Amino acid sequence: MTQFRPTRFEVLPTIIKNLLIINGLVFLAQNTFAGPTSTFSFEDYFALHAWQSDLYKPWQLITHMFLHGDFGHILGNMFALWMFGSILENLWGPKRFLLFYMLCGVGAAVIHLAILSYQLVPLTAEYERLLQLSKTNVSGFTEAVYNYSARHHIPLTQILADNKVSLSTPGLAPQLMDLITTYYNKTVGTATLGASGAVFGILIAFVYLFPNTYIYIYFLFPVKAKWLGIAYFAFELYKGIQNSAGDNVARWAHVGGAIIGFILVYIWKKKGPSY
C-alpha cells in the first residue's frame, strides 16, 4: 500500500473530532486561568516535568498531550492531527487509532524524560557539590559558583553588576546560593507540553503506510510523504543531538513519538489487517 485511495471516508471521524474539542477546551481553560493573579497553574500540575523536579506527577505522562503553549502551537498540532490522523482513523477504526495515539504520546514522553534525566545528571551533581561547598568553604565556593555559571550560561557577572556587588563582597555566599538554587529549580522544573509526540507518531505511520502519497507544502509544492517524513525526522534527530542552548522545543519527544509510531505500525502491518 503506497498511496491513499479512500473508499468510505469521514472528513472528521469520531476520535479526531473529540481530540480537537478536548484540546480546544483545555487551551481555553489554560488561558482563562493564566496570569499573575491566578492561584492555579495548569502547566505546573498537568504539563510534563523532569523526574528530578518536585512538580513531576505520573499523570503528566498523559495530561501534557492536551496542553499547548500558544495559539500557533495548538493550531499546528491540531491541523496535523486532522490532516494525517483522520486518514488513519478511517483506516483502523476509532479504538485502534485512539490506542495508537495514546501509546505514541506516552512513549514520546518516556523517551523525552529519559534523555532529559541523562542531560540533567551533570547539572544536578554540580548543584549538590555547590550546596555542600557553600556550608564549608566560602572562598572555594565563590570560585566554584563563577565556574558553574560560566559552564551553564548563567549571566552571573551582569546580575552582580546590576546589584552593585562583586564575588568578593563579604557575606555574599547565601545570596549566591539563592541565585544558583533559583536557576537550578527553574531548569529542572521546565515544563513540556503539547501533542507533538503523538502527532509525530501519526505522521510516521502515514508515511510508512502511504509513502508515495503527495503532500503539498504550503498547499503549493508537492512532495512525496516518504521524503518529507525522512527529512523531518532527520532534522528533529539532528537538533536533538545538537542540543542547542536556547532551543525550547522538545526534540526528543518528537523523535520518541516517531519511533514508537513506527514500531507500532510496523508490527500491526506485519500481523495483517485483521489484527
Shared domain for 113 and 162, answered yes or no, is no
Q: What is the pLDDT of residues 243-261, one digit of tens each?
A: 754 456 788 889 999 999 9
Would you say residue 5 has pLDDT above 60?
no
Shared domain for 44 and 103, answered yes or no, is yes
Q: HEC profile for 19-42? A: HHHHHHHHHHHHHHCCCCCCCCCH
Length of the chain in terms of residues written: 275
The β-bridge relationship of strands 214-217 and 221-224 is antiparallel
Domain boundary among 188, 206, 235: 188
Torsion of CA 234, 100, 92, 215, to 10 degrees: -20
Which is higher by pLDDT, 119 or 99? Answer: 99
Q: What is the pLDDT of residues 48-64, one digit of tens each?
A: 999 888 899 999 999 99
How far is 70 from 181, CA to CA, in rounded Å?
Answer: 28
Would you say residue 23 has pLDDT above 90?
yes
Shared domain for 87 and 149, answered yes or no, is no
**pLDDT at residue number 209:** 92
Number of domains in the chain: 2
* Residue carrying the nine cell digits 495559539: 71
Shared domain for 174 and 261, answered yes or no, is no
Q: What is the pLDDT of residues 144-177, one digit of tens each?
A: 887 888 887 777 777 777 777 766 666 677 777 8
CB 33 within 8 A of CB 42: yes
Cβ within 8 Å of residue 40, ≥6 positions away? 33
**Over the chain, what is the mean pLDDT?**
84
Range of the domain at 244: 14-32+40-118+194-271
pTM of the model: 0.82
Give me the percent of the chain exceeding a pLDDT of 70.
Answer: 87
